[in-house]
């Protein structure tokens, strides 16, 4: 990250594309780029400032998302469906342990799963 002008800085980003256009890619594709990150309100170019319609859309989208999440949670609760936790879900325990083992760099996915199943007593 380097300073370019007062109130902005150049920020680098990167990632990996594993699927596109509804299809899984044969090979993950890396990408990277940069953009000018604005650090304060005064540095926003006038042509990029949101107008009243933009602000209205932002507020309404936020309200809709919150209401949607609340409605979905109410339906799930009424149906007796609870979010899995490490204490209640063997599948979550297994996947969490496998991710941790693979992240350590000492296991590939298959050996991590085998070890985790053995440690958790899963057949």
Residue 30: predicted pLDDT: 96
Same-domain check for residues 43 and 56: no
Same-domain check for residues 62 and 89: no
Same-domain check for residues 43 and 10: yes
Q: Are strands 23-38 and 2-3 parallel, antiparallel or unpaired?
A: unpaired
Residue 85: predicted pLDDT: 92
Domain of 41, in residue numbers: 1-47
Same-domain check for residues 9 and 42: yes
39 contacts: CB under 8 Å, gap ≥ 6: 7, 8, 9
Same-domain check for residues 13 and 37: yes
Number of domains in the chain: 3
Same-domain check for residues 35 and 61: no
Residue 119: predicted pLDDT: 95
Closest CA to 92 of 68, 122, 50, 49: 122
What does pLDDT average to in each consecutive run of 10 residues of the chain (123 residues)?
A: 70 95 94 96 94 97 97 95 91 95 95 95 90
Same-domain check for residues 42 and 22: yes
**The model's pTM:** 0.52
Same-domain check for residues 2 and 23: yes
């Amino acid at each position: 990250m380097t300073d370019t002008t007062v109130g902005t800085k150049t920020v680098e980003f990167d990632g990996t594309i594993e699927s596109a256009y509804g299809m899984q890619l044969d090979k993950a594709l890396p990408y990277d780029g940069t953009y000018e990150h604005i650090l304060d309100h005064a540095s926003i170019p006038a042509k990029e400032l949101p107008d009243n319609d933009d602000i209205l859309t932002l507020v309404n989208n936020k309200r809709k998302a919150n209401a949607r999440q609340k409605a979905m949670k109410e339906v799930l609760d009424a149906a007796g469906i609870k979010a899995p936790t490490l204490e209640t879900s063997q599948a979550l325990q297994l996947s969490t342990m496998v991710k941790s083992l693979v992240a350590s760099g000492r296991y590939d996915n298959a050996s991590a799963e085998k070890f985790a199943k053995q440690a958790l007593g899963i057949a």
